[in-house]
Amino acid sequence: MKVCKLLAFALTLVMALSSSTMCLAAMQGDVDQATAVLQRFQEIPEKSIPPAVLRQAKGLAIITVTKAAFIVSARGGTGVVVARVGKGWSGPSAIGTGGAGFGFQIGAQVTEFVIILNTPDAVKAFSQGGNVSLGADLSVAAGPVGREASADILPMAAVYTYSRSQGLFAGVSLEGTVLVSRDDTNREFYGRQVTPSDILSGKVKPPKGAQSLLKVLSRY
């Protein structure tokens, strides 16, 4: 009986976490969070994303994931993806992730991820809407770390991934992670129906709420 109650509690946790992070998070909050994440990732140059990697990037996805566990673990997160257009950057398009697994850990953890889109095909995958599976749709690898990384090194994967959790920074593999487009959130942020393709191609003018993020991105 106790086991059933624990499983019921854990399943409720999975549903609540996914629902709250995927459906209720405001786009403006995600944009502001993405801006702060990029700034935090650059606070320690010796252990940050190399400037050369950022300068060569065709796009970026920034997402904050909350993971909670009590027999059954659950994770959910929201964020944005942007693409390089001309001499600048596109407006942000909303993305999210979620999932569940079994384990015996108890607690919660928040992790910030920056995903470097190294190729036009990587940007195209996010432009089509729907789901993007890292490792299946796109090759993925933990990104190189440190300011001394050579600008002459060709990307080893379509996507580089980085994480920051509890103050610790590292390149990390996110193979198997599925990211989904949040079309309703985009519609609310832009004030009309827009597609990820329109946003990431630069056809849609970024709202005022995206200017702080674009200012940080303008350094690259």
pLDDT tens-digit series, residues 28-84: 999 999 999 998 877 766 667 888 889 899 999 999 988 755 554 456 789 999 999
Q: Where are the domains of the chain?
A: 2-217
* Calpha distance 172→83 (Å, rounded): 22
Query: Collapsing DSSP states into helix, strand and coil, what is residue 70?
Result: strand
Paired with 79 in beta bridges are 63, 95
Q: What does pLDDT average to over the chain?
A: 79
Per residue in 140-153, pLDDT (tens digit) is 888 888 765 554 55
Q: Which two tokens stand for residue 110?
A: 């928040």
pLDDT, mean of residues 88-95: 96
Res. 100: pLDDT tops 50: no
Q: Which pair of tokens denotes residue 127?
A: 């432009």
Predicted confidence (pLDDT) at residue 88 exceeds the cutoff of 70: yes
The residue-averaged pLDDT of 195-214 equals 95
Q: Taking the mean position of all CA atoms in its chain, how far away is CA 83?
A: 13
CB 161 within 8 A of CB 113: yes
